[in-house]
Amino acid sequence: MHWVLIISIFLLLGFLLLQILKRNAENKPKKKSEIVVVDKHIDNSQNKGEKLVSQMLSDIIKTYNGYLFNNFTFIDDNGFSTNIDQIFLSRGGLFIIETKSNIGTIYGNDSYEVWEARIKGRKSNKLFKNPIKQNKKHINHLLFMLKNNSLKMNSMIIFPLADSIYNVVSGFVYDLCSAKKFIIDKTKEERYSKEVIDEMYFRLNEVKNIHGISLEEHRVNIKNKYKKW
């Protein structure tokens, strides 16, 4: 009985030690070198497609690091406002993303003014403006605000909910899987140093902090713009 009691005490102490070690590991702070996600919170203003893209980008950051801005909305001195769905910044460069939540089969090319989403079982198809030209304006406006830029800006149009994008003739259009692969491949190249990326992160934050506006203000600006036409 004496040995049974000793063994029981050792087993109990071992169990308690394991629990303490486990708790310390869970509470261990993250390394300061880890790059955090910017604007990690996805608010209710984002639709389902934008949420899927934001989550995909957040997943990339967990493995490869980077910075993410959701709904990067700003206004210049002329009163012209711009809303970029997502800006992703990594050692592969800047990824300027226009997320389209259209369903169905997408038709279009770089030069068409209007694209089409054909939805099976519906008589009428959805027409929408060329998102490539739309994103080009976003990039030009952002370049103007940054004044000078040495990083490559990758324009990406992502259709996370579409049934098919294979009828689109363009090198800028992706579904969720191909977009993730493209960004990871570029990030793995590590074309830019961490110092260069951190500097760009600082400059993007400057634009946001000095010239940033809310989505509601942006929508009012767009509405007033078209009223003048």
- Please report which confidence band the pLDDT of residue 201 belongs to, taking 50, 70 and 90 as the band edges: very high
Q: Rounded to an integer, what distance in angstroms lies between the CA atom of residue 157 and that of residue 139?
A: 13
Q: How confident is the model at residue 8 (pLDDT cuts 50, 70, 90)?
A: low
* pLDDT reported for residue 219: 86
Q: In what order do the strands lie in the sheet with 153-158?
A: 67-75, 81-90, 93-99, 153-158, 173-174
Instruction: Note the maximum CA span of the chain.
Output: 95
Q: Which residue has the higher pLDDT, 9 or 159?
A: 159
Rounded to the nearest integer, the mean pLDDT of the chain is: 84
- pLDDT, average across residues 70-81: 89
> Is the Cβ–Cβ distance between 105 and 115 less than 8 Å?
no
Distance CA 24, CA 84 (A): 41
* Statement: residue 119 has pLDDT above 60: yes
Q: Report yes or no: 192 and 132 within 8 Å, Cβ to Cβ.
A: no
Choose between 148 and 131: higher pLDDT: 131
Average pLDDT score over residue span 42-59: 83
Position 95 pLDDT exceeds 90: yes
Instruction: Enumerate the H helices of the chain as residue ranges.
Output: 2-26, 48-64, 131-146, 176-189, 194-211, 215-228
The pLDDT score that the predictor gives to residue 38 is 43
Domain positions in the chain are 35-228
Percent of the chain with pLDDT over 90: 67
pTM score, two decimals?
0.79
Say what the pLDDT of residue 39 is.
41
Digit-coded pLDDT (tens) for 16-36? 555 554 555 444 433 332 333
Inform me whether the pLDDT recorded for 208 exceeds 80.
Answer: yes
pLDDT for res 10: 56
Q: Residue 149 and residue 142: Cα distance in Å, rounded? A: 10
